[in-house]
């Protein structure tokens, strides 16, 4: 199977699981589930679930049911996009080529749809089939830390808001990235490893892989925001510069940023050096993250 076929197959599996976990649009109160589904099924690339599943597969041949916990990662990612797009935060009208959730459903429903996805993510973990209570609890702890205000995504968002009023610097950039995007990407691969029963050494290696891939992902994201059009990205391009966001190109320039992404890609490969060929999909995903065009 080519990587492209593998990615599409896993996306189908993840989408089917998301469809099972999120109540249908005819469940009352209908509008909230319409809004949740609108944002979840908007053509996202499912990078976090893919990393989670490939990570589980690098540890165990058949990590049955891992797509369920992978769904929780996508729900958290989607909730964070919905809230970040709100007028009080990034005030963005376009996401994945469509009006943002608050543009389509109004601010009140967008706030509540985000809250609902955040809540549902924890519900999914607490009910994940094929896995014992002890592991479910560990996943809840992982997700809460990655999503939370102490070094997690919420901290990243706050630093980002504050960063708009500060001079760009390498240390501020690193702090923002580590919390805002890094924490959930790192948690994504840790999710898969914990789910599949990784030992401490394996988990440490996978975590290092996740940190390097996460950093590469953010650098590439920042580069794409400069180089590609809104149409190609499916979201408003050039917003970073417009909003004076601190980005890798702003701090290091485009060429140095590209070299850094490549370095991080190689470091991700190095982190997996003791893994056998079951980690090949994970290796390919590191390449995909750096070489993507949108």
Cβ at position 18, least distance to its own copies in Å: 15
Q: Which is nearer to its own copies, 3 or 172 (CB)?
A: 172
Q: Which is nearer to its own copies, 47 or 155 (CB)?
A: 155
Residues across the chain: 294
Cβ at position 151, least distance to its own copies in Å: 9
Q: Which is nearer to its own copies, 3 or 161 (CB)?
A: 161
Q: Which is nearer to its own copies, 115 or 263 (CB)?
A: 115
Q: Which is nearer to its own copies, 13 or 158 (CB)?
A: 158
Q: Which residue has the tokens 């590439």?
A: 220
Three-state helix/strand/coil letters over the chain: CCHHHHHHHHHHHHHHHHHHHCCCCCCCCHHHHHHHHHHHCCCCCCHHHHHHHHHHHHHCCCCCCHHHHHHHHHHHHHHHHHHHHCCCCCCCCEECCEECHHHHHCHHHHHHHHHHHHHHHHHHHHHCCCCCHHHHHHHHHHHHHHHCCCCCHHHHHHHHHHHCCCCCCHHHHHHHHHHHHHHHHHHHHHHHHHHCCCCHHHHHHHHHHHHHHHHHHHHHHHHHHHHCCHHHHCCCCCHHHHCCCCCHHHHHCHHHHHHHHHHHHHHHHHHCCCCCHHHHHHHHHHHHHHHCCC
Q: Which is nearer to its own copies, 97 or 106 (CB)?
A: 106
Cβ at position 101, least distance to its own copies in Å: 12
Q: Which is nearer to its own copies, 69 or 120 (CB)?
A: 120
Cβ at position 269, least distance to its own copies in Å: 33
Binding site for its own copies (CB under 8 A): 23, 27-29, 31-33, 36, 79, 83, 86, 88-89, 106-109, 111-116, 118-120, 122-123, 125-127, 132-134, 136-137, 140-141, 143-145, 147-150, 152, 154-155, 157-159, 161-162
Cβ at position 239, least distance to its own copies in Å: 16
Cβ at position 13, least distance to its own copies in Å: 23
**Distance (Å, rounded) from C-alpha 192 to C-alpha 73?**
11
Cβ at position 77, least distance to its own copies in Å: 13
């Amino acid at each position: 199977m080519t990587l492209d076929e593998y990615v599409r197959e896993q996306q189908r599996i993840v989408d089917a699981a998301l469809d099972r976990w999120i109540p249908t649009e005819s469940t009352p109160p209908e509008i909230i589930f319409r809004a949740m589904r609108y944002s979840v099924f908007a053509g996202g690339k499912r990078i976090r679930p893919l990393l989670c599943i490939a990570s589980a597969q690098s540890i165990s041949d058949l990590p049955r049911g891992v797509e369920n916990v992978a769904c929780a990662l996508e729900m958290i990612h989607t909730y964070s996009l919905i809230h970040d797009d709100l007028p009080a935060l990034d005030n963005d009208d376009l996401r994945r080529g469509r009006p943002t959730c608050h543009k389509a459903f109004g601010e009140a429903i967008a706030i509540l749809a985000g809250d609902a996805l955040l809540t549902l993510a924890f519900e999914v973990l607490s009910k994940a089939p094929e896995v014992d209570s002890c592991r479910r609890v560990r996943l809840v702890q992982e997700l809460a830390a990655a999503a939370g205000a102490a070094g997690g995504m919420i901290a990243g968002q706050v630093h980002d808001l504050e960063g708009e009023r500060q001079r760009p610097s390498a240390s501020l950039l690193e702090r923002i990235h580590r919390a805002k995007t890094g924490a959930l990407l790192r948690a994504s691969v840790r999710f898969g490893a914990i789910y599949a029963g990784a030992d401490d050494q394996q988990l440490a290696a996978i975590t290092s892989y996740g940190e390097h891939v996460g950093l590469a992902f953010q650098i590439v994201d920042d580069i794409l925001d400069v180089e590609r059009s809104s149409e190609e990205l499916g979201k408003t391009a050039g917003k970073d510069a417009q909003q004076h966001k601190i980005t890798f190109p702003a701090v290091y320039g485009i060429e140095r940023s590209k070299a850094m992404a490549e370095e991080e890609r190689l470091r991700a490969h190095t982190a997996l050096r003791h893994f056998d060929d079951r980690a090949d999909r994970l290796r390919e995903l590191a390449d995909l993250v750096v070489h993507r065009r949108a």
